[in-house]
Structure 1
Amino acid sequence: MKYLIATMFALIFTACGDNTTTPLLKDIISLTINDTNITMHSTDAPKTITATVTYTDGSTADATTSILWTSTDSDVLKTSLGELTPGISNGGNVTIQATYEQYGDSTTATISKLTDYNASFPDINATGTYVFQAYGNFDNGDTNVSIFSNIVWSADNSAVIDVTNNIASITLYAGDTNVTATVFGDTNTSSPIAPQSKIYTIN
């Protein structure tokens, strides 16, 4: 019994002790987004922005993953933990906000609209794995920009598609295989961009 009582006192003492760590955002006086006037294309790969907090003693720290990030239109640009990803809409303007309690900051983001694109279909004459890519032109004047998001590659004849680091590779087998690149699909109903495809015949 005395061992049980001693154990209970030890647990109570430990529970009452100050064994917590100081929160990253304790005693701050400001929160600032480090990136301003962000520009992206509607088919870019995700991009990371950062935020900094300033403490009462004047020191600073990276708070990118410790605060709340929001977008005024996630269909144009989604955000999570400072990572920006183009949404299902083809271009637009949004405000990105970073907040923690009463502290906050915001920045604007302009997402250029894809006007047309060219799917690059490699020359294939044997079974195997090949990399497929597409390049787009945008309403801000940028041309021949690699397309990473909002594009779907599809293939029939049991072809296998793998997307790693936003690059699509397709394993093709013997026979006729139709490979198609579709950007925005049915989500961009205001100005649809037709899919592009090519049929391969592999012996």
Structure 2
Amino acid sequence: MESKQIVLTGLVATALITALVLSGWVVDMVVAFLILIAGILLTYYFALNQKRIEQYSTLRSAIKASEEIRKQTDLTAVLNCLTICAQSLLGIKYVLLWLPDDNIMWPEDEEYHDLLEDIGRRVKLGPEPLQLTRQGENSFTWPENTTWLAAYPLVMGDEFRGIILLLNSRSDKLQGHTKEVLNILCRQSADAIYRVLAEQNREGDERLLINSLLAGM
């Protein structure tokens, strides 16, 4: 049972018991009031405990999801895994990766260029995902049916390599444990992407070296 259901059930049960007590005039108003307060406190305690259990379960799921993300060996697989995890844990619909001059899974439409450039400038300022809402950023053109996005920077050494983008139709920003889940998913996805890009660079250097050796033979 969810915490909201517990609160509602507890309050209804407390009110019912109080009404039964008063209707029989078994005890005076003071005792009835104490019963009401005790019921409210117990309901609050059980609801709070249930909420903590739900949050703990969500964070555990995020950690398991991050382990699955780290197992992926190419960019498409990393993004697909992140998409599945973000949808199941946060209800986020779309995950995109933007690499300057080498877009992957992003609409090749110039009308989004200013939005991407502005996001890129702002995400460099902090290590946590930048959350934006369409209402607060209406000076830029947004993708259709998107009213919220989170952006996480990809920085290798001192070099800015791109942005992980998560898009949805929600109107408010993630807070509390859901924000922490977002941080975990973005951080682990970034690490997986760093590893894939580093491997691609290494393979590219090896091919260049082999071609140079062959050309000199």
Task: Select the structure with the greater relative contact order (CA < 8 A; seq sep ≥ 6).
Answer: 2
Please report the TM-score for the alignment, with normalisation by the length of structure 2: 0.26
Structure 1 or 2: more helix by fraction: 2
Structure 1 or 2: more strand by fraction: 1
Please report the TM-score for the alignment, with normalisation by the length of structure 1: 0.27
